[in-house]
Structure 1
Amino acid sequence: MKRRDFFKNGTLTAIGASLLSPAMPGYATERNLRDTHKRAKNIIMLVSDGMSIGTLNMADLYLRRKTGQASHWLRLYQEDKVSRALMDTASASSLVTDSAAASSSWGGGVRVPNGSLNVSGNGEAHLPLWQKFKKAGKKAGVVTTVPATHATPAGFCINSKSRNAQEQIAEDYLKQGIDVIMGGGNKYFSSDKRKDKTDMYRQYKTAGYNVVKTRNELLHADANKPLLGIFGEESLPYTIDYNNDTALQTEFPTLEEMTRKAIDTMKQHQEGFVLLVEGGKVDWAAHGNDIAGLIYDQAAFDAAIGAAMEFAENDQETLVIITTDHGNANPGLIYGKDVNKNFDSIQNYKHSNEWILNGINAKTNTSQLKERVAYANNIALTDQEASKLLGYYANLNQEDGLYNPKHLPFSILAEIQKQHNSVGWISMNHSADYVELAMYGPGSDLLKPFVKNTALHYQMLQAAEVANIF
């Protein structure tokens, strides 16, 4: 294994001095001292994609008020178990990044234009971090609730001028020998769906991978072989829909289950492993101003944090990094005399806004729409509100937005819901917020209170004592 002093190279010394030195004189705590001078054998990075601070806040409030327990993330803060920072998320082309450029800042250590995966505007390719760790002898994996070939996992593994080349990304994962790949995206692997008719499942099996497509297959998969788990045509379902549909519970695993399986598959490797875990549908819910999709998927991401921390606290050789790539839609609770009761009503929601709106069409009448919303949210629509929603399905209006190919009226439904749940949104798009970043374990003592996103690339290499020579 290529392990050596990360800072022997002069350029890296400069980077380390400016970005990665301990916080401030006098800032040392028992936690800092405990984690100083230890090598991270393993790294688990957890990314709640598109998580504005309001999302973290509301998910924690939801869990506290429903279960009496804080979220795992906030408990780490309360118990002073992690180093904490704010992170600047800009890309090379914009103050507001997309997920491809954000992931590439970690993957390649360089800011690239939005839409690109580890390829600069001048065409220069930057070797992705998981490839560096593979060359150093570690196993590498990616887990997500959106297509396994989507921007965030791909940014750790491959080079591409376009994040949209997802069929090629499915091939590149195999070429790079990524050991664990889990998420949605059957259409990028199946010969029935791919434009070139290539059967990627067969190619992975030939290469020695376990290929699983259901929750039961995943839970019983041999942990001694590399693993490809593809669940669903596009993405995994929203957690709130999953919780209220037994058929979905049979077909799909949870993010926590995928995280545990990924760790089990790689944990015995002598040189260690690196793992990316993404709560990808947090971002999709924010794009749709879908409060039930957002909070329940953030809570599911938090359960994955719990799984990672359980392993890391027992292992004592694992660096855990918890963050987001950018804000999105900036939701939050709005003051009012009924805010507590209104917010608590979300605990009784049964389905996402996506579920509600996909069940409506131009033939749906007012009473049917009212019944559907009442069942999903326990909200009684007025005739005027119902008519406004139905108008979209008659092509009177078309609502655009990322991850809204059917032009569903997400924003108008969210406006109606705001009167009942007190949650407001500023947009349906990414934002330039500085975001939360937390670290636990060997290497966490290196974190400064404010960093650029690219700093994490070098800090992970340094924490694992892997020289940046590739």
Structure 2
Amino acid sequence: MKKTIRIVSAALALTLGASSVPVQAQAVKDYGKAKNVIVMIPDGMSIEAATLARWVDEDHQLEMDELVTGLVRTNNANTPIADSAPAGTAMATGNKSQSPYVGVYPSQGGMPGAENFDENRSGSPIANHIEAAERLGKSTGIVSTSNVQHATPADFSAHHPNRNNFDSLAEQQVFQGMEVVLGAGSTSLMKEKRQDKEDLIQEIKDQGYQYMTRPEELKNITSEKIWGMFDPDALANDWDRDSSKEPALSEITQAALTILSKNDKGFFLMVEGSKIDWSAHANDPMGVVSEILAFDKAVATAKEFAKSNEDTVLIVASDHGTGGLTLGNSSTSSGYDKKPLNEFTDLIRNAKKTGEGAAALLNEDRSNAAAVAKDVFGIDLTADEIEKMKNTKDGDVAFGQIISARSAIGWTTEGHVGGDVALYCYAPKSVLPLTGLVHNSEIGQYISSIMGTDLNALSQELFIYSRAAFEQKGAQVNFNYNEGNPILEITKNGVQYNFPTNRNYAIVNGEKQPIGGLTVFTGEKIYVPQGAIDLVK
């Protein structure tokens, strides 16, 4: 079992930026303590999207339903409508942030939940639950249906002010020490695709992970560390999925729980149903329902585990709503209370594929749109709908709009919306559940409380502004851009210490030396853990 690393609780000077102001500890309620924590995020799922999925489901109920405990306010530190990067950061760190920051403290505050904005911490990395759990000796993991470098899984496992810098986020994840990484995203690990030409797939294998690309490999796990990339970019929507090529979200969730639960000190797991959001961006009701129902099956898996292991807390919360989906549109301005359920749901329930899956069947000029619509959705396109198919940029959007109009499903945007989302929480008798109207950052604080961690103190240990700290020790500091893979070069008493960014070690006299955390370059400053400072004599 892994060696426990003690979390430093005393404030360290020169921690964030050039400031020597210690970070104040978060005052959190004592909810009790849990050995295992599972956080599940249905990305982009609004309350009304869940309502639609429930109506489409044959039993008209969701596994999540019995866990409802409240509502979540999703606003960013500086704006009312959230993006996945800052919203996930809030849950992962207990601090609201701003777009496009991943695991980074905001540069602006002022919105509810961010009234205590500290400009001295602006733009600095902040510790997350995975980093805290690892230092308690727990096992950790992330699961997603998108590429794992995407905003939400990255929020829990990496740090960068730009959510689109997949190369840096991927490298940090590889050196973060997690036991389980499952989903998609091998493109950002491949030597031929990365700007720095690093072969991270080989690095993953060298670290002892069982690296998997096929679903059948989940049935023959031989290692205590697994890394599964079942698509170069993102998994297919569940209704479009080829089960021989890609596993279901419930299957990879089960695999993650099987591995992580072997640790007698417990675990932390984050599971994201990523493409609820993507489907809602496309205004595709079939995709939204497909992905909510697939996510709900994964919730059933996690709920069964939690109820069988009474030292486990399960939290489910969306990061924001997407699309502004409504059950009812302009066609139901009158007669809305006379329209039967099947007119809202039949076309969606009987679809053979989602809008994304149907769009993949279109030929280049979309001359087969009518045939695809007939085969997949069982409808005859009108002349206006055929024209829409030809003139709408994205085929999934076109199919989504057509089926939505025929099903009286409304959309207000192809972007995010600012409404509250549902909070779901299961806790054993020894732990109080999180309830009521809460900020997304309070989810992060709740997790810290039940795991017994102090993420602000850990931030002070893990993310020290390197130049100020090393120069205070009398060392010379040099930044080597190194063709896109920067290295912090520190020289003292004739010895050079090289700290490759996004990695958890230094190179001294040709040998790797562990430093107890990542070297993080934010584009302006390099932050290192206390172990790096201590290494330089």
For residues 190-339 of structure 1, the aligned pairs below 5 Å read 190-222=190-222, 224-242=223-241, 248-334=242-328, 335=332, 336=336, 337-339=338-340
Question: Compared with structure 1, are the counterparts of its residues 444 and 437 closer, same or farther at alpha carbon in structure 2 (3 Å cutoff)?
Answer: farther
Match of 1:80 in 2: none
Q: Deviations over 1:197-236 (max 9, x none)?
A: 32211100100001000101123222x4211111112100
Distance 1:267 1:42 in 2: 8
User: Quick one: distance in 2 between partners of 1:271 and 1:133?
Assistant: 10
Which one has the largest radius of gyration? 2
Question: Structure 1 stretch 119-128 or stretch 156-165: which is displaced more?
Answer: 119-128
Asked if the contact 1:215–1:251 (Cα under 8 Å) also holds between the matched residues in 2, the reply is yes
| Aligned residue in 2 for 1:360 | 362
Verify: 1:48 aligned to 2:49, yes or no: no
The answer (yes or no) to whether the contact 1:87–1:435 under 8 Å persists in 2 is yes
Q: Which amino acid aligns with 1:131?
A: E
- More displaced, 349-358 or 171-180? 349-358
Are 1:348 and 2:350 matched, yes or no? Answer: yes
What stretches of structure 1 of length at least 5 have no aligned partner? 22-35, 78-83, 243-247, 393-406
Does residue 109 (structure 1) correspond to residue 94 (structure 2)? The answer is yes
Q: Distance in 2 between matches of 1:254 and 1:409?
A: 24
Q: TM-score, normalised by structure 1?
A: 0.84
In 2: Cα distance, 1:289 partner to 1:410 partner: 8
**Whole-angstrom distance in 1 between the partners of 2:191 and 2:5:** 39
Q: Deviations over 1:21-46 (max 9, x none)?
A: 7xxxxxxxxxxxxxx74x21000001
One-letter code aligned to 2:236: P
Would the aligned equivalents of 2:93 and 2:445 in 1 still touch at CA under 8 Å?
no
**Number of residue-to-residue matches in the alignment:** 417
Name which structure has the greater RCO, CA cutoff 8 Å, separation 6+. 1
| Aligned-partner Cα distance in 2 for 1:410–1:287 | 10
Letter in 2 for 1:316: E
Report if the CA contact (8 A) 1:329-1:430 is conserved: yes
Letter in 2 for 1:383: A
2:434 equivalent to 1:447: yes
Q: Say if 2:182 is the partner of 1:182.
A: yes
What do you get for the CA RMSD once the two structures are aligned? 2.3
| Distance (Å, rounded) in 1 between the aligned partners of 2:98 and 2:374 | 44
2:80 aligned counterpart, secondary structure: coil
2:56 maps to which residue?
A: 62
Residue correspondence of structure 1 range 320-469 to structure 2 within 5 A: 320-334=314-328, 335=332, 336=336, 337-342=338-343, 343-365=345-367, 368-392=368-392, 407-442=393-428, 445=432, 447-468=434-455, 469=457
> Would the aligned equivalents of 1:312 and 1:318 in 2 still touch at CA under 8 Å?
yes
Provide the C-alpha distance between the structure 2 equivalents of 1:2 and 1:234, rounded to a whole number of angstroms.
34
Paired residue for 1:74? Answer: 65
1:465 positional shift: 2.4
State the 4+ residue runs in structure 1 displaced beyond 6 angstroms: none
* 1:306-342 per-position Cα deviation (integer Å, ceiling 9, x unaligned): 0001111010000000110001112122154444222
Answer whether contact 2:253 2:302 (CA < 8 A) is retained.
yes
1:176 Cα offset (Å): 1.3
Aligned residue for 2:227, secondary structure, equals strand
Q: Greater share of strand residues, 1 or 2?
A: 2
Note closer, same or farther for the CA distance 1:410–1:253 as it changes in structure 2 (3 Å cut).
Answer: closer
SS in structure 2 of the partner of residue 87 of structure 1? strand
Asked whether the 8 Å contact 1:362–1:390 carries over to 2, the reply is no
CA distance in 2, matches of 1:296, 1:446: 29
> What amino acid does structure 2 have at the position aligned with 1:295?
V
Percent identity between the two aligned chains: 27
The 3-state SS of whatever aligns with 1:194 is coil
Q: 8 Å contact 1:42–1:272 — kept in the other structure?
A: yes
SS in 1 for 2:243: helix
Seen in structure 2, the aligned counterparts of structure 1 residues 265 and 294 have a Cα distance that, compared at 3 Å, is same
Higher helix share: 1
Which stretch of structure 1 is more off in the superposition, 412-421 or 225-234?
412-421
5+ residue gaps, structure 2: 10-22, 108-121, 459-537
Amino acid at match of 1:15: A
Residue deviations 1:220-263 (CA, integer Å, cap 9, x gap): 222x4211111112100001112xxxxx2101000000000000
Q: Deviations over 1:389-423 (max 9, x none)?
A: 2134xxxxxxxxxxxxxx41554433322342221
